[in-house]
Chains A and B, each alone.
Chain A
């Protein structure tokens, strides 16, 4: 196979999709953070939950940072346009992660100035804002955003900015779109489901297990509703298609639906993913002593998110459509790094399986035994 420029553009959209998919799975940490008061009824139980999540939060956080870095390196025009334009949306997400980053470490330490309650509130805020807004941000991959790209502006010495946002809300407008909001809420409830599934897997405590199980059921209903709503809106809506010869972009009705048909394998990935998530939910609710729900739903989530990224970026689709100026829409062709840079970065991507392998290995040895209350009482190294 010839390694063409186009191949690398596909490859890097694939890697971005993988990182995005893993990120959504790892948002179980955020979901878990919003369940602290629901699943835990005593201080000891809360300590258990926090310490269980506390050994994973950095993975989610790091995945977000790497997702950003990889997007920057492979599709810099997206980085420039979206982050510089949807300023408030991204800033709100980042703020919520900033306050999360200290909360585990500081919450129970003497001298922490703001008090345990504040740090626990930080975790809840991050759980809600982080998951909903990341979902909304990904939603704009389908609904479009209000920007114009004009590279010739660089020679306008008075105002040389090439990507400009066309409204003063700078990203907050994405929240007033039903399609984006339904994806945001679907991600939020999915994160809560997975948070509960993770507790069931990671903590050896009857009460926590029972309450988590209940939460899986409670959150499953809104998740299914919002996810279906999002999917229906996307599949019935129009999408932006790029003509690969002229580079011209046009609006095509049912574009995403056709993407699923034309790339039938993506449709299969989506279906298998949905089945896995539903299976995880149902088995966790129905079966006694079932603890592996998180793995089923994890695989399912990754597959579903992958398929969404694929229909957003592949099959000559503009993954970041502009509602202000259609021709400004970003595609994997017009927004990517140069051939050389993508090539260099692809060599570096050999590290990915190594990273995944050592994460999996340490996860396994650290979590061989579920966390128990007894362990928490005897352990000094805890949050």
Chain B
């Protein structure tokens, strides 16, 4: 079991490492891609060569970032097979489809038209070139759509049933996956966060030009486009973030409890705007206070999660003990089961499957029927059958809590930031406000911090589940030695770090060069 947990930890570490690296580059592709496409559209409308120069400048940075995004992306798809092979069989019937569609629908679109976008300026008509630029960014966004449909399905599995004969989950409703409310929120939340990051990046770089008093036209024009894209982005982020919170409350209440550091639930629960967790609180079972210090807005968490100020938000302790009113998958009001009930049901389900297979081997159809029925009745907690102790069901609260609060505080800041930039650009006053221009520059790392934090909330917050309630990480892995996974972990850490240094180095050089020498 120790060795198993070590493989699980290293496999998780490797997935986290590669996904977080990948997620450094994808948002800039999504955001800068949209901005570049808008700029080229303006160029084609105005025929102003200066717009072309601006477009090509940002496009060159887009290209550098895109390459490393591709490099870090390939491993994610294959890692489901290499390191999560049990998962790949158990739900591959459902999960494989969006991945294949992503490749077919999105990757070829990106790959084909990216080449036209970079090398086609003198080979194809301006209109076809513009179409290629748009198709590239549409391809990138479609890729986000399908991978997020897949991810959302892991957080809220729908449209499938368990087939004991093949020992896997099988799909029966494709549209349930695609139009799952979790997927819809996740897609718009993620893609628009990319627009926010792309805008922050463009504004920050432009601010640096203004500080250096060079490439002023490029800087001002770029800032204007970026600030509008950023504002549209952050509004979408806020709206879908709110939608996501409702989904998390309904489908992953443990994640919500960790996000807000809620141990004891209540009605009229307040939202912690800012807080410092008590480091002495090690478990939901001890009597330590959860916070050393907190600033709370009364009843807001209840309102956001349940849409009523007096709605009940369960804490970690409540989720363990159960006994509070809760809506089930069908939308019926039930009394929440305790974690021990769930673990019991999970173990019954696992045992029933085992007995079913034994009966099947013997050809005992009546025992097969009996066990199949037991399995079906208990399958919704199948994953709990692998859980040894309730402690395993609580994600790392400080990591999730602080990531969540970094994300929402920065999100709020970006909203004000874009409005302020637009206002000052409109009044033609931004150029002279040196301090604000420096803030623009320093907002770039904050943008990255915010987006990575969002990823941590979504993915660490759902631990230990690879598929909510159905399969925990420790049942999902491949059986390779932990030494082997450690080796590849460090190989990825080394190569991605080297490539990141190269990526940043090239982008900084290109920014220093500015737009003139790019043409």
Is B518 an interface residue, CB under 8 A from the partner?
yes
**Of B74, B84, B113, B167, which is in contact with the most chain A CB atoms at under 10 Å from its CB?**
B74
CB contact under 8 A between A154 and B167, given known A79-B92, A170-B480: yes
Are A77 and B89 in contact, CB atoms less than 8 angstroms apart?
A: yes
Of B170, B385, B502, the residue contacting A157 (CB under 8 A) is B385
Mask: chain A, 37-52; 1 = CB below 8 Å from B; 0 = not: 0000000000000000
Enumerate chain A residues within 8 angstroms of B82, measured Cβ to Cβ: 83-84, 87, 90-91
Of A99, A159, A366, the residue contacting B120 (CB under 8 A) is A366
A125 to chain B, nearest CB (A): 12
**Within the assembled complex, what's the spacing in Å between the Cα atoms of A363 and B123?**
11
Is A372 an interface residue, CB under 8 A from the partner?
no
Mask: chain A, 199-227; 1 = CB below 8 Å from B; 0 = not: 00000000000000000000000000000
Mask: chain B, 454-476; 1 = CB below 8 Å from A; 0 = not: 00000000000000000000010
Are B96 and A337 in contact, CB atoms less than 8 angstroms apart?
A: yes
Of B68, B170, B499, B519, the residue contacting A340 (CB under 8 A) is B170
Is B97 an interface residue, CB under 8 A from the partner?
yes
A342 to chain B, nearest CB (A): 9
CB contact under 8 A between A155 and B67, given known A69-B100, A80-B81, A362-B116: no
Are A68 and B119 in contact, CB atoms less than 8 angstroms apart?
A: no
Are B111 and A61 in contact, CB atoms less than 8 angstroms apart?
A: yes
Stretch binding the partner chain, chosen from A109-117, A234-242, A265-273: A109-117
CB contact under 8 A between A101 and B103, given known A109-B509, A157-B385, A160-B386: no
Are B104 and A66 in contact, CB atoms less than 8 angstroms apart?
A: yes
CB contact under 8 A between A69 and B92, given known A155-B353, A162-B167, A165-B479: no
CB contact under 8 A between A112 and B4, given known A73-B100, A155-B357: no
CB contact under 8 A between A76 and B88, given known A337-B96, A338-B93, A340-B171: yes
**Within the assembled complex, what's the spacing in Å between the Cα atoms of A258 and B100?**
33
Are B479 and A159 in contact, CB atoms less than 8 angstroms apart?
A: yes
**Within the assembled complex, what's the spacing in Å between the Cα atoms of A379 and B509?**
20
Of A79, A151, A351, the residue contacting B104 (CB under 8 A) is A351
Enumerate chain A residues within 8 angstroms of B306, measured Cβ to Cβ: none
Is A286 an interface residue, CB under 8 A from the partner?
no
Is B335 an interface residue, CB under 8 A from the partner?
no
Is A95 an interface residue, CB under 8 A from the partner?
yes
Is B254 an interface residue, CB under 8 A from the partner?
no
**Within the assembled complex, what's the spacing in Å between the Cα atoms of A73 and B104?**
12
B21 to chain A, nearest CB (A): 11
**Within the assembled complex, what's the spacing in Å between the Cα atoms of A101 and B95?**
26
B36 to chain A, nearest CB (A): 14
Are A163 and B85 in contact, CB atoms less than 8 angstroms apart?
A: yes
Q: Which of B144-182 contact A (CB under 8 A)?
A: 163, 166-168, 170-172, 174
CB contact under 8 A between A79 and B96, given known A114-B502, A366-B119: yes
Of B89, B128, B505, the residue contacting A163 (CB under 8 A) is B89
Is B292 an interface residue, CB under 8 A from the partner?
no
Are A380 and B519 in contact, CB atoms less than 8 angstroms apart?
A: yes
Is A161 an interface residue, CB under 8 A from the partner?
yes
Is B297 an interface residue, CB under 8 A from the partner?
no
Enumerate chain A residues within 8 angstroms of B351, measured Cβ to Cβ: 155
Are A338 and B92 in contact, CB atoms less than 8 angstroms apart?
A: no
Are A73 and B111 in contact, CB atoms less than 8 angstroms apart?
A: no
Is A328 an interface residue, CB under 8 A from the partner?
no
Are B108 and A85 in contact, CB atoms less than 8 angstroms apart?
A: no
Enumerate chain B residues within 8 angstroms of A170, measured Cβ to Cβ: 480, 484
Is A341 an interface residue, CB under 8 A from the partner?
yes
**Within the assembled complex, what's the spacing in Å between the Cα atoms of A331 and B98?**
23
Enumerate chain B residues within 8 angstroms of A77, measured Cβ to Cβ: 89, 92
Of B88, B168, B506, the residue contacting A112 (CB under 8 A) is B506
Is A381 an interface residue, CB under 8 A from the partner?
yes
Question: Which A residue sits closest to B113, measured CB to CB?
Answer: A362
Are B123 and A368 in contact, CB atoms less than 8 angstroms apart?
A: yes
- Can you list 9 pairs linking A and B with CB atoms under 8 Å apart? A61-B70, A62-B110, A72-B80, A72-B95, A101-B67, A109-B509, A155-B357, A159-B479, A381-B119
